[in-house]
Structure 1
Amino acid sequence: MDIDRYLGPGHRTTALVTSHGLVVADAAVRLAQVERFHERKEDLAGELTQRWGDPDHVGLQTVRLRTETEEIPEPWAGLSLRVGEVYLWQAEEHGRWVALGVADLDPYDEIQLLLVVTDTDPP
């Protein structure tokens, strides 16, 4: 993975894969797709682990709750509203953080496999 294509001021969030038509899908169909997206996340996490070592496994629920009373910087505030947990690597050679997660919290939105690259430290 060429992290340089994600570099820029602040942060960049990219949907690597997006579902289609699951907003109105049956709950069982959506659940099956969520599981597939998490499998794809695990596969990609394995590749990223080879490059940057073992990731931290970070739950974002606390960050999500803190957004109600604190100013949480982006991309972390927005990410916490869409993703329950991420794998997180520090790409020290680039001075960036790389987060990988599945956006599946909103049943009225499509499911996405998200890659976030940011120079903002996680809260």
Structure 2
Amino acid sequence: MDIDRYLGPGHRTAALVTSHGLAVADAAVRLAEAERIHEEKEELAGTLTRRWGTPCHLGLQTVRLRTGTEEIPEPWAGLSLRVGDVYLWQVAEQGRWVALGVADLDPDDEIQLLLVVTDTDPP
């Protein structure tokens, strides 16, 4: 697990699953691996839902667009460049947010299942 690769004040990001060699792979192979990692996301989301309740579904496209004209706090700005949408839980007793998503937007990068824990409210 690649934890703290995207470490910053008030947040941590862990790559729970990372593809290998897909940055240069055939598009069909990349698509199949993306589907597999999305399935893993759904399985983990089920486990987290049993623990913290039903998550919000947060699309990050508007956040990504807003980064061009607004100061969007991390980890949300960086996450929006890599992930299209996340499941989002508010863990109120700890004052934190937990986001789960698949980083598959950049075809020149590996696909990753990311888990983000932050005390920064989503934009």
TM-score by length of 1: 0.93
**3-state SS of the aligned residue for 1:121?**
coil
Q: Which amino acid letter does the alignment assign opposite residue 98 of structure 1?
A: V
2-side partners of 1:99 and 1:43: how far apart?
A: 14
1:48 alignment partner in structure 2: 48
In the alignment, structure 2 segments of 5+ residues that lack a partner are 1-7
In the alignment, structure 1 segments of 5+ residues that lack a partner are 1-7
- 1:108 and 2:108 correspond: yes
Judging changes above 3 Å, is the alpha-carbon distance between structure 1 residues 9 and 94 closer, same or farther for their aligned structure 2 residues? Answer: farther
Cα shift at 1:9: 4.5
1:25 alignment partner in structure 2: 25
Q: How much is the aligned-residue C-alpha RMSD, in angstroms? A: 1.0
**3-state SS of the aligned residue for 2:25?**
coil
1:58 alignment partner in structure 2: 58
Q: Which amino acid letter does the alignment assign opposite residue 84 of structure 2?
A: G
Cα shift at 1:93: 1.3
1-side partners of 2:9 and 2:23: how far apart?
A: 32
1-side partners of 2:28 and 2:16: how far apart?
A: 23
2:14 alignment partner in structure 1: 14
2-side partners of 1:31 and 1:9: how far apart?
A: 34
Residues 31-77 of structure 1, C-alpha deviations (whole Å, 9 max, x = no match) = 00000010000000000000100000110000000000000000000
2-side partners of 1:34 and 1:9: how far apart?
A: 30
2-side partners of 1:91 and 1:16: how far apart?
A: 20
Aligned residues: 116
- Equivalent runs, 1:70-81 vs 2, <5 Å: 70-81=70-81
2-side partners of 1:9 and 1:112: how far apart?
A: 22
